[in-house]
Amino acid sequence: MKTIDLSSASVRDFNQALHDQAKQLDEREWLVSNSAGKHNLAVGVNQALDIVIQGHAGYYCAGMNQQATITVHGNVGVGVAENMMSGSVRIKGSASQAAGATAHGGLLVIEGDAGARCGISMKGVDIVVGGSIGHMSCFMGQAGRLVVCGDAGDALGDSLYETRIYVKGTVKSLGSDCIEKEMRAEHLTELAELLDLAGFDADPASFKRYGSARQLYNFKVDNASAY
């Protein structure tokens, strides 16, 4: 296992070492200590590395991840796993705003809560949150699945496309064009698989499903006030 101590090494050196190591492919496991909330940790990884960060991380941790498995034993700041393409990112604590923003694939698991705009403009990622999420989450969500084991704030799924949303707790309000939908057998199966992947023990039947009413796909002047 390769170890990095960020009390002495710089973030730039750490990220460069990850990219160099990915080319050499002789050390798959990395342990990072003294992260101290530093920003941009483990950004742009493009190989199947296993990276464990022991401590809190700042903005854009694990951004643009491809293939790597990244675990943070702490909280993270804005934009964790932003634009992730594949692989998995697990946050043992809570996440700030815009978790999983614009992400195209992979799995993001947040064991605690997530702030506002969780999954904003998500494009295929699966996001599973063990706690609650803030307002405007899944705004313009295009594809993928968002699972929330707690509550959701205002304007959930505003201007939603085809992202599927599952919430166990209370939704404060739904955004424009987001509606509650029937929970069919295939959705229960899908949700059970996602909860199992995330390692959460929750009953799929206790969740409600939300999705797009498909009224805002094309501009209509009669709907101008809703845009």
**53-112: pLDDT as tens digits:** 999 999 999 999 999 999 999 999 999 999 999 999 999 999 999 999 999 999 999 999
Tally the domains of the chain: 1
CA distance 130 to 92: 10
For residue 127, is it within any domain?
yes
Task: Give the mean pLDDT of the chain.
Answer: 94
For residue 151, is it within any domain?
yes
Calculate Rg over the CA atoms of the chain: 18
The 123-129 sheet, strands edge to edge? 2-5, 29-33, 50-54, 69-72, 88-91, 107-110, 123-129, 143-148, 164-167, 208-212, 178-181
pLDDT reading at 220 higher than 90: no
Domain that holds residue 200: 94-214
pLDDT level of residue 219 (50, 70, 90 thresholds) = low
Q: What is the mean pLDDT of residues 199-214?
A: 96
pLDDT level of residue 20 (50, 70, 90 thresholds) = confident
pLDDT level of residue 163 (50, 70, 90 thresholds) = very high
For residue 130, is it within any domain?
yes
pLDDT in tens, 130-154: 999 999 999 999 999 999 999 999 9
For residue 65, is it within any domain?
no
The pLDDT value recorded for residue 25 is 61
For residue 181, is it within any domain?
yes
Give all strands (DSSP E) within the chain, no chain letters.
Answer: 2-5, 29-33, 50-54, 69-72, 88-91, 107-110, 123-129, 143-148, 164-167, 178-181, 208-212
For residue 137, is it within any domain?
yes
The pLDDT value recorded for residue 216 is 77
Q: Is 85 helix (H, G, I), strand (E, B) or coil?
A: coil
The pLDDT value recorded for residue 109 is 98
pLDDT reading at 187 higher than 70: yes
The pLDDT value recorded for residue 181 is 97
